[in-house]
Chains A and B, each alone.
Chain A
Amino acid sequence: MLFNSVEFIFLFLPFTFFVYFFLNRKRLLIASKAWLLFSSMFFYSWWNIIYLPLIITSIFVNFLISSNIINFDKNKKINFSKKKMLMIGLFFNIGLLGYFKYMDFFIENANFIFGTNIGLINLILPLAISFFTLQQIAFLVDSYEGLIKEKNFLNYATFVSFFPQLIAGPIVYHNEMMHQFTNLKKKVINYKNIITGLFIFSIGLFKKVVIADTFAAWATNGFDVSSSLNFFEAWFTSFSYTFQLYFDFSGYTDMAIGAALLFNINLPQNFNSPLKSTSIIEFWSRWHITLTRFITTYIYTPIVRSFENLSFSKAMIATFVTFLISGLWHGASWMFVIWGGLHGLALVINHIWRKKLKIKMNKFLAWVITFNFINFSLVFFRANNLDDAIKLLKGMTDVSNIVIPSSLHSSLGFLSHFGIKFGGFMNNILFEQGFEKLWGIAYLFVAFFIVLFFKNTSSICENKRYIEKYYFFAAMFVFATLRLNEYSEFIYFRF
């Protein structure tokens, strides 16, 4: 079920909310938790019920392994060591992800390298597998480290499957969630949380349906529809995708945070105005924050720990490798690995700049470089293959293919001496005519203005001055709701 669908907003969410608090009011606390679990499974099954057994098995196996890890000292019958139990758990999770997400990728590469002709298995990627697997890996490791002692299956299953964060995060840890599900103060309706949650949800819905989906059409025209692009078209396409991804994913996160808050559950912040960043290090502390937190704790730190004598260069190697893995986590394609590698490399350069060169850069210049690097790297993130990425990058760098509107010929005709052409402007991206085309260009500037000068959603909704402007949020909600007839998935649903 999509957050941006009529059935979720007007049926599922209100119904789940009212039954949950009705059961809490009747002091049926276990039943209310079970209701949340049932609702989450229903939410998951709506997409494709075939994969329901998969998530149930994954939850069950992980709980079993973590129980054995937690009870290791008490349970003398177990022949495995605690570490072996952890390894089995990790193998299970990574194996599951590897089979469903990466099998065809491995087969394709094996066929290419060894000249074999093994058939692809063409599995549909089960929804949310990347997210619930990461969450459970973190849970197993924390159990192993002795940080968690969860023995209640219902608690555990609710934590993993809680519907607002199930599909695409934020990636949460057991110790930041479980106490919220058990806290009695959170079992009563909290109007502050409801109003804040609804406002955050409204902003997220608006970001997704009104902003991201508009940019999505133009990004698709540039990446998938057009076979060649001129200079301005290529830049417009790349900006469109950067804004689509940001507003789509941060919009989804806002909706998740807003929906969870209705149940008095605080999910961690995932975006903090990342496109304002003036360095890549800063960008990764503001973009998909919970993923950065996860890969730092569970990938970067173990790699660093594995080095005997940690040095700056070894830390940089660990950074680079971590981002390669993070890239691959996003999807089974070399394009994601290239994207991850580029970010790993940029982080290494950024660290060298800070620690070794220590040159202070003008803030605006730093922002221009950072933003353009993000924009450039996302070409690989979006492109279906290297040819598509090259097509776009070629257009972005081909200054001999600048086309400006023919209507400007009378005033700027002299520019043709410099190789600038006059013709249809943005014809391969903006299919609209006249005013609608101008609106498309204006939209890009509005998006820049929003990402650079607006506060992020959390800051807006924590500020009482803004919250009192309820009519503004209501207008956003209604405007977004008008567009719910158009089916549109979130980008991170594919990961």
Chain B
Amino acid sequence: MIQYKNLLKKFIFTLLSIFLIIASFNYFVDAYQIFRKQTNSSIIEDLKKGYFISSDSITVNRIENIYDQLLFFYKNENIDTLAIGSSRAAYLNKELIFHSQNVKYLNFTTGTALLSELAKMIGLFNKHSIGLPETVIIGLDPWIFGEQIQLGKIKKLINSSSTLSNNNLSQLFNYEYTKINLERFFKKSSYIKSKKLNDIRVRNNNNMILSPNGDLYYPLKIENTDLQKFKKGVLDFIAKCKTMSFDRRCLNFNKVKNINEFLYFINYIQNRGSKVIIFLAPIAPTFYSHILNNYQFDNYYSDIKAFLKELKVKVIGDYNPKTFNLKDDDFIDTMHPKPKVIKQIFETNKIDLMEDLK
């Protein structure tokens, strides 16, 4: 019996030791600064302090790795406007849209976002119990209506929840928080930072640059791609689409899907008192001609426009580059217009938009 008594003592001692190690780890790493103010820095903390960040780590899983945590820090701030979408909406920069106006603006974009990613971004507000901003600009890409996403999934992603909370000692033994702290501890990725955008653009020439509100900037060398290189890129992409036609960026769609799912998504935002603005980023002319000539994009786009008309929401922009007399050198690549295009589109809609955003 004594050996079992000793075993019990060892078991309890081990239990307490592991608990203590985990609690101490969570207390000292404390990625969300729940327990104490940090002196050392991380991407998230530096973003919060107003730095522009450049790092290869901001290109993957941005929703989970950056926006989720960033929003945790913005918990107690009123956000006026939110832009969500794919990288095609990444240039919806605060400066381009609002100039020097004092607007609390967040810009959350990720890869070739589908409706599920948009839902996940809206879900972050639920997760952190933050009310939705007054205005939500949705960067609507054509592939959002091409790949079927199930309504249940949209509902589940929007209504996400978290076990994290502020100033709560239970976070010392919280799985979710321990995971975040472990990531923080092991993924000390190298990054450069600066409070001035131009400074970081000069210093960095490879990675994207993330601004404190989520705005993304391409490295200057990509933004200044010459026309020849651009055309080669488009032709390579068209060739790729011939063998990989299921790649959503190829836009080989003939039927509009996700109508009910998108309606649910829009209604969800509107029912919470937010104004919705749809932004359609133009597509590079060479590629746009390709999808008109080779696929049934014309019909597909007409259906999208008819649907948006029924929605009765403000729509800015157009996939068709002709609408704004755009040429290939107005684009970074097939899908991404240069900042001056975004500026031009928003200048055209300036008066209306400012009224909408009031």
Instruction: Please give the residue numbers on chain A whose beta carbons come within 8 Å of chain B beta carbons, in ascending order.
Output: 190-192, 194-195, 198-199, 221, 224-228, 406, 409, 413, 421-424, 427-428, 431, 433-434, 467-468, 470-471, 473-475, 477-478, 481-486
CB within 8 Å for A225 and B150 given contacts A192-B4, A482-B178: yes
- Chain A residue with Cβ nearest B164: A485
Which B residues are CB-close (under 8 A) to A471?
Answer: 10, 14
Closest-CB distance, A208 to chain B (whole angstroms): 14
B156 and A191 contact, CB distance less than 8 A: no
A474 and B5 contact, CB distance less than 8 A: no
A409 to B244, CA, bound (A): 8
B311: interface (CB < 8 Å): no
Which A residues are CB-close (under 8 A) to B10?
Answer: 470-471
A194 and B150 contact, CB distance less than 8 A: no
CB within 8 Å for A482 and B18 given contacts A227-B151, A406-B246, A431-B153: no
Closest-CB distance, A480 to chain B (whole angstroms): 9
CB within 8 Å for A195 and B7 given contacts A470-B14, A474-B18, A482-B178: yes
Closest-CB distance, B92 to chain A (whole angstroms): 23
B18 and A424 contact, CB distance less than 8 A: no
The contact size tier of chain B is: 35 or more
A191 and B5 contact, CB distance less than 8 A: yes
- Chain A residue with Cβ nearest B4: A191
B170: interface (CB < 8 Å): yes
CB within 8 Å for A431 and B14 given contacts A424-B147, A482-B22: no
Which A residues are CB-close (under 8 A) to B15?
Answer: 474, 477-478
- Chain A residue with Cβ nearest B13: A474
B173: interface (CB < 8 Å): yes
Closest-CB distance, A492 to chain B (whole angstroms): 24
Closest-CB distance, A117 to chain B (whole angstroms): 31
- Chain A residue with Cβ nearest B119: A431
A431 and B156 contact, CB distance less than 8 A: yes
The winner among B11, B173, B178 for most chain A CB atoms within 10 A is B11
In B16-68, the 8 Å CB interface with A consists of 18-19, 22, 60-61, 64
Closest-CB distance, A190 to chain B (whole angstroms): 8
CB within 8 Å for A226 and B153 given contacts A434-B61, A474-B18, A482-B22: yes
Closest-CB distance, B37 to chain A (whole angstroms): 24
A217 to B170, CA, bound (A): 23
- Chain A residue with Cβ nearest B151: A227
B74: interface (CB < 8 Å): no
A-B contact count (CB 8 A): 92
Which A residues are CB-close (under 8 A) to B156?
Answer: 221, 225, 431
In B64-102, the 8 Å CB interface with A consists of 64
A195 to B7, CA, bound (A): 7
B347: interface (CB < 8 Å): no
In B231-247, the 8 Å CB interface with A consists of 243-244, 246-247
- Chain A residue with Cβ nearest B244: A409
A47 to B64, CA, bound (A): 35
B243 and A413 contact, CB distance less than 8 A: yes
In B182-219, the 8 Å CB interface with A consists of none
CB within 8 Å for A478 and B22 given contacts A434-B61, A483-B175, A485-B163: yes
- 5 closest A-B pairs by beta carbon, nearest first, are A225-B152, A191-B4, A485-B163, A474-B14, A482-B175
A295 to B64, CA, bound (A): 50
Instruction: Please give the residue numbers on chain B whose beta carbons come within 8 Å of chain A beta carbons, in ascending order.
Output: 1, 4-5, 7-8, 10-11, 14-15, 18-19, 22, 60-61, 64, 116, 147, 150-153, 155-157, 163, 170, 173-176, 178, 243-244, 246-247
- Chain A residue with Cβ nearest B163: A485
Can you give 26 A-B contacts (C-beta < 8 A)? A191-B8, A192-B4, A194-B4, A195-B8, A198-B8, A221-B152, A221-B156, A224-B152, A225-B152, A225-B155, A226-B150, A226-B152, A227-B150, A406-B244, A406-B246, A421-B246, A434-B60, A467-B7, A470-B7, A470-B10, A475-B18, A478-B22, A481-B173, A485-B170, A485-B174, A485-B176
A477 to B174, CA, bound (A): 14
B18 and A478 contact, CB distance less than 8 A: yes
Closest-CB distance, A433 to chain B (whole angstroms): 6
Closest-CB distance, A21 to chain B (whole angstroms): 14
Which B residues are CB-close (under 8 A) to A474?
Answer: 11, 14-15, 18
Which B residues are CB-close (under 8 A) to A194?
Answer: 4, 8
Main secondary structure of the interface of B (DSSP, over half): helix
Indicate which residue in B153, B170, B176, B243 contacts A225 across the interface (CB closer than 8 Å): B153
A397 to B174, CA, bound (A): 41
Which B residues are CB-close (under 8 A) to A424?
Answer: 147
A232 to B150, CA, bound (A): 16
A422 and B4 contact, CB distance less than 8 A: no
A484 to B178, CA, bound (A): 13
B174 and A192 contact, CB distance less than 8 A: no
Indicate which residue in B11, B116, B150, B175 contacts A470 across the interface (CB closer than 8 Å): B11
- Chain A residue with Cβ nearest B16: A474
A475 to B135, CA, bound (A): 48
The winner among A199, A409, A421, A427 for most chain B CB atoms within 10 A is A427
Which B residues are CB-close (under 8 A) to A195?
Answer: 4, 7-8, 11
A484 to B170, CA, bound (A): 10
Closest-CB distance, B185 to chain A (whole angstroms): 16
A482 and B5 contact, CB distance less than 8 A: no
Closest-CB distance, B153 to chain A (whole angstroms): 6
Which B residues are CB-close (under 8 A) to A226?
Answer: 150, 152-153
CB within 8 Å for A486 and B150 given contacts A195-B11, A477-B15, A478-B22: no
A423 to B174, CA, bound (A): 35
- In the complex, given contacts A225-B153, A226-B153, A423-B246, what are 9 additional A-B residue pairs having Cβ atoms less than 8 angstroms apart? A199-B11, A224-B152, A427-B116, A428-B150, A431-B156, A431-B157, A474-B15, A474-B18, A485-B170
- Chain A residue with Cβ nearest B165: A485
A256 to B75, CA, bound (A): 41
CB within 8 Å for A191 and B1 given contacts A431-B153, A474-B11, A485-B175: yes
Which B residues are CB-close (under 8 A) to A221?
Answer: 152-153, 156
A406 to B153, CA, bound (A): 21
A422 to B243, CA, bound (A): 12
Which B residues are CB-close (under 8 A) to A473?
Answer: 11
- Chain B residue with Cβ nearest A193: B4
A228 to B1, CA, bound (A): 58
The winner among A428, A482, A486 for most chain B CB atoms within 10 A is A482
